[in-house]
Amino acid sequence: MKKFGTVVFLIGILSFFPSTILAGTNAGDVEIGAQIILSNTSVDNDDTTTFTIAGKISIFATSWLSLGITPSGSLTESDSGDSSSIFFEFEPNFHFNTSGINVPYFGPHVGFIKFESGTTDETEFSYGAQIGFKTFFSENTALDSQLRFTRWEIFDTEFDDLSLRLGINIYF
């Protein structure tokens, strides 16, 4: 929990750091990013914490609306057996203050998860929402901080996932 508090503190400081950078998002911009994800998944009063790496590509339809896809994957080793999961999600995000250094956003996401464990695999629908902000360090580079909730059902069990995502985005 101490690490989580430190990360939130640093993000807070960076979000209010004064700068003269002229940045923001514009219609037609392409956003490519990479994220490190710390997530807590709850299943029937059992919590699991995992680290995951994700990619991201979005196109800005307007300066305030991006349409993107986010693939991610994880490998889990446990006493009950190893498993892997792959998420592929579509996420429209609505941005505010698009000409500033700090650009808050929110949006829904829908997609699918492919889960494999031992000789069993299943592909299911996933959905959720995210809220975050981007802090521009140059005209074409931003730190992306996001809190995301995702729900899915595998093997007749519902999973609720709350994740903190930190990443770097490059804009073309």
Q: CA 165 → CA 5, 15, 76, 134, 160, distances in Å?
A: 14, 16, 18, 12, 16
pLDDT value at residue 18: 44
Q: 113: domain range?
A: 2-171
CATH number at residue 11: 2.40.160.20
Give the pLDDT confidence score for residue 19 in this predicted structure: 45
Q: What is the pLDDT of residue 8?
A: 59
Total domain count, the chain: 1
How far apart, in whole angstroms, are the C-alpha atoms of residue 142 and residue 34? 11
| Phi and psi at residue 25, to the nearest 5° | -120, 145
DSSP 97: S
Q: According to the model, what pLDDT value does residue 94 have?
A: 96
Q: Note the pLDDT of residue 134.
A: 95
Q: Can you give the pLDDT at residue 105?
A: 96
Each residue's pLDDT, cut to its tens digit, for the chain (172 residues) gives 566 666 556 555 555 444 445 567 888 999 999 999 888 877 777 777 778 889 999 999 999 999 999 998 887 766 666 778 889 999 999 998 888 889 999 999 999 999 888 778 899 999 999 999 999 988 899 999 999 999 988 878 888 889 999 999 999 9
Beta strands in the chain (DSSP E): 30-43, 46-60, 65-76, 83-95, 102-117, 120-138, 141-154, 157-171
Per-residue b/e over 56-71, b at no fewer than 16 CB within 10 Å? bebebeebbbbebebe
- 165 - beta bridge partners? 37, 146
**For residue 3, what pLDDT is reported?**
63
Q: What is the pLDDT of residue 39?
A: 83
- Secondary structure element (H or E) that encloses residue 23, with its range: none
Residues 74 and 166: their CA atoms lie apart, in Å, by 16
